[in-house]
Chain A
Amino acid sequence: MILSWMAWTWPTTAFFIFIVLAIATMGVWEHFSPGGGPRRGVLGLDTTRGDRLFISIIGSAFIHLGWLGFMGTPLWGALAISIIFLISVFRWV
Chain B
Amino acid sequence: MIDKTTNQKAWFLVLPVVVLVAFNALIPLMTVVNYSVQETFGNNVFFFEGVKWFEQILHSERFHASLLRQLSFTGIILLIEVPLGVAIALAMPKKGPWVSVCLVLMALPLLIPWNVVGAMWNIFALPEIGLLGKMINGLGFDYNFTQQPLAAWFTTILMDVWHWTSLVVLLAYAGLSSIPDAYYQAARIDGASAWSVFRYIQLPKMKRVLTIAILLRFMDSFMIYTEPFVLTGGGPGNTTTFLSIDLVKIALGQFDLGPAAAMSLIYFLIILLLSWIFYTLMMRNEEK
A residues contacting B by CB (< 8 A) are: 4-9, 11-12, 15-16, 44-46, 54, 58, 61-62, 65, 68-69, 72-73, 75
Contacts and interface: CB of A to CB of B under 8 A. Distances in A.
B38 A65 contact: no
B44 A6 contact: no
A8 B58 contact: no
The B contact surface, by secondary structure, is: helix
Interface stretch (B113-121, B125-133, B182-190, B269-277): B269-277
A44 B31 CA distance: 37
Contact of B269 (A16, A58, A68, A75): A58
Closest 9 CB pairs of A and B: A69-B58, A7-B34, A7-B46, A6-B31, A12-B34, A12-B33, A68-B55, A61-B269, A68-B54
A45 B37 CA distance: 35
B49 to A, nearest CB: 10
Contacts of B38: 7, 9
A6 B30 contact: yes
B165 to A, nearest CB: 32
B31 A9 contact: no
Given A45-B280, A75-B51, A65 B33 contact: no
Interface in B15-73: 27, 30-31, 33-35, 37-38, 40, 44, 46, 48, 50-51, 54-55, 58-59
B101 interface: no
The A contact surface, by secondary structure, is: helix
Given A58-B269, A58-B273, A58-B276, A6 B34 contact: yes
A7 B269 CA distance: 22
Contact of A58 (B27, B58, B272): B272
Nearest to A61: B269
A4 B37 CA distance: 15
Contacts of A58: 269, 272-273, 276
Contact of B27 (A6, A44, A45): A6
A46 B287 CA distance: 10
B31 A7 contact: yes
B8 to A, nearest CB: 14
A16 B34 CA distance: 10
Contacts of B54: 65, 68
Nearest to B269: A61
B95 interface: no
Contacts of A8: 34
Given A58-B273, A61-B269, A68 B35 contact: no
